[in-house]
Amino acid sequence: MSGERTQQALARIEAALARIEQAGSAAEAASVEAARRHEVLRSAVSETLRDLDILIGEQGR
């Protein structure tokens, strides 16, 4: 009986480890996607600010 309980415990530990690894992979993918979206947003904001600078500069002429 003791050997069977040990095997069950090891199986539960291995299953938990697999879930942890899967969650880590998902979190890493989400982080990469968030960084990509941040860069796209940053680029769009920079372009918009340049356009505003040009418009403001033209108003002063």
Residue 56 belongs to domain spanning? 1-61
What SS3 state is found at 60?
A: coil
pLDDT in tens, 14-55: 999 999 999 988 888 899 999 999 999 999 999 999 999 999
Residue 2 pLDDT greater than 90, yes or no = no
Task: Please state the domain count of the chain.
Answer: 1
Q: How many CA atoms lie within 13 A of 21 on its CB side?
A: 6
The 8-class DSSP code of residue 61 comes to: -
State the pLDDT at residue 8.
Answer: 94
Band (60; pLDDT cuts 50, 70, 90): confident
Whether pTM > 0.85 for this model: the answer is no
